[in-house]
Amino acid sequence: MTVSWNRIPQVEHAAETTLERRGRALPEVPRPLLAHGLGRSYGDVCLNPGASLLHTPGLDRFVAFDPATGILRAEAGLSLDALLRFAVPRGWFPPVVPGTRFVTLGGAVANDVHGKNHHQAGSFGDHVLALTLRRSDGQLLEITPQGHPEWFAATVGGLGLTGLIETVTLQLAPVRSAWMRAWSERFDSLDEFWELNARGEREWPYTVAWIDCLNPGRDGRVGRGIYSAARHATTAPRKAAWREPRRSIPLDPPVSLVNRFTLRAFNHLYYRQPVHATPRAVHHQPWLFPLDAIRHWNRIYGHQGFYQYQCVLPPHAAQDGVQALLDTIAASGQGSFLAVLKTFGARAAPGMLSFPRPGATLALDFPKKGQATERLFARLDAIVQEAGGALYPAKDARMPATMFRTGFPCWEAFADYVDPEFSSGFWRRVTA
């Protein structure tokens, strides 16, 4: 059984096969098909219940690289981890990375992932120069933003539904070292966050905030947290020694370790951690990918899994909307130990179903608690819909179909580009 990162839902597939060479016809397995990378999506966007998965990590070869321009072409199953290990020593860096480096290039394209630098760099698709897409009828399409804008807009953020992405051509960004300069500051309310963020985004390419969902600030409302900002360092520190930690959750606990008591204690302690108002040198891995330091961290929720709820609210509704979401979560007593808040820039999304858009995005993890969790999500959905926002398909396991359609109004135009032999549990659920 293949499951997504949050282990919800748990489904059986008719067939699963690993692709190891590009340029071949799609395998003869039960239709419909869906490409599956490293499985770091949440929910059923990367699952195909009762049908077939095409595992792509075997398609992980570098095809071409120009060290003078930073243009790289690679197979879609190449992981960002492998790309970083190759590119950083050569003075290049992926222009946009999500919160984990254990995703494939194809997955990054299919979900049009974003990072902590969206306000300056946009999303992953903004830096894709070309794609090769294999359709079920045997066609191999060479897609570029200029030459095939409709196919490009459908495939970037297209959830793997337009066919099998075989190769990705990506423009990398120049860097001078593997290190970053970063600072952090505590804030006591969301009002302080908005002020910090306005200043931070003017000068720093990477910005993000952690939010305490349970413990109130001085004003009596939830919304306190820690704001962080960073940029790539021009030089490595004099004693540039860093070793990747080897921590891991070895097995599933019998019950979720995330509950009201552990959440409240974690949030309190995390808020009190040391902050560094003066920029200091940090290696890029712990700053950009903090949870990658603990392998199999998803096991702390037990075998039943957990939900991630990530929404985006438009600029006019962001401040009141985020406060309303946090107040609702606090009132439910179901807070998240990992609550991340940042703002997106004004750049237009490259894909028809791209999630990033102007506004603020809030991401939270919740243990699965049956009807109590469902009732909370219904209240959060109402706030997001009233604000004119949307939920992130790559982080979804239960989005109502009506909410998908209002959050992604181009979905019907996109449907014209879906390969007739590709589908997913998510797509069938929100378009039925």
Model pLDDT for residues 338-366, shown as the tens digit of each residue: 899 999 999 999 999 999 999 999 999 99
Assess whether 136 and 284 both reside in one domain.
Answer: no
**Residue-wise pLDDT tens digits, 83-130:** 999 999 999 999 999 999 999 999 999 999 999 999 999 999 999 999
Q: Is residue 131 part of a domain?
A: yes
Span 75-87, average pLDDT: 98
At which of 158, 175, 192 does a domain end? Answer: 175
Cβ atoms within 10 Å of 380's Cβ, excluding its own: 21
**Residue-wise pLDDT tens digits, 245-258:** 889 999 999 889 99
* pLDDT beyond 90 at 216: no
- The pTM of the full predicted model, rounded to 2 decimals, is 0.97
**Contact yes or no for 32/422 (Cβ under 8 A):** yes
Cα–Cα distance list, 26 to 18, 139, 154 (Å)? 11, 11, 20
**Residue-wise pLDDT tens digits, 179-196:** 999 999 999 999 999 999
Assess whether 80 and 100 both reside in one domain.
Answer: yes
Q: Is residue 329 part of a domain?
A: yes
CA–CA separation, 376 vs 386, rounded Å? 16
CATH code for the domain in which residue 197 is found: 3.30.70.2520
CATH code for the domain in which residue 116 is found: 3.30.465.10
Handedness of CA 168, 418, 362, 329 (dihedral sign): negative
**Contact yes or no for 129/208 (Cβ under 8 A):** no
Tokens encoding 424: 């997913």
Q: Around 414, how many Cα atoms within 13 Å sit in the side-chain half-sphere?
A: 25
At which of 155, 175, 195 does a domain end? Answer: 175
Assess whether 80 and 207 both reside in one domain.
Answer: no
Assess whether 392 and 348 both reside in one domain.
Answer: yes
**Residue-wise pLDDT tens digits, 311-341:** 999 999 999 999 999 999 999 988 888 899 9
Assess whether 197 and 343 both reside in one domain.
Answer: yes
Q: Is residue 322 part of a domain?
A: yes
Assess whether 114 and 126 both reside in one domain.
Answer: yes
Assess whether 161 and 220 both reside in one domain.
Answer: no
Give the residues across from 66 on adjacent strands. Answer: 71
Give the residues across from 19 on adjacent strands. Answer: none
Assess whether 186 and 106 both reside in one domain.
Answer: no
At which of 175, 205, 223 does a domain end? Answer: 175
**Residue-wise pLDDT tens digits, 148-161:** 999 999 999 999 99
Q: Which domain holds residue 308?
A: 179-237+247-401
* Across 4-18, 228-242, 408-422, least confident range: 228-242
Handedness of CA 212, 213, 214, 216 (dihedral sign): positive
CA–CA separation, 400 vs 309, rounded Å? 13
Assess whether 252 and 383 both reside in one domain.
Answer: yes
Q: Is residue 283 part of a domain?
A: yes
CA–CA separation, 424 vs 404, rounded Å? 15
Assess whether 131 and 196 both reside in one domain.
Answer: no
Write the DSSP symbol of residue 156: T
Assess whether 345 and 226 both reside in one domain.
Answer: yes
Q: Is residue 29 part of a domain?
A: no
Assess whether 134 and 201 both reside in one domain.
Answer: no
Count the domains in the chain: 2
Q: Is residue 408 part of a domain?
A: no
Cβ atoms within 10 Å of 265's Cβ, excluding its own: 12
Q: Is residue 44 part of a domain?
A: no
Q: Is residue 378 part of a domain?
A: yes
**Contact yes or no for 175/163 (Cβ under 8 A):** no
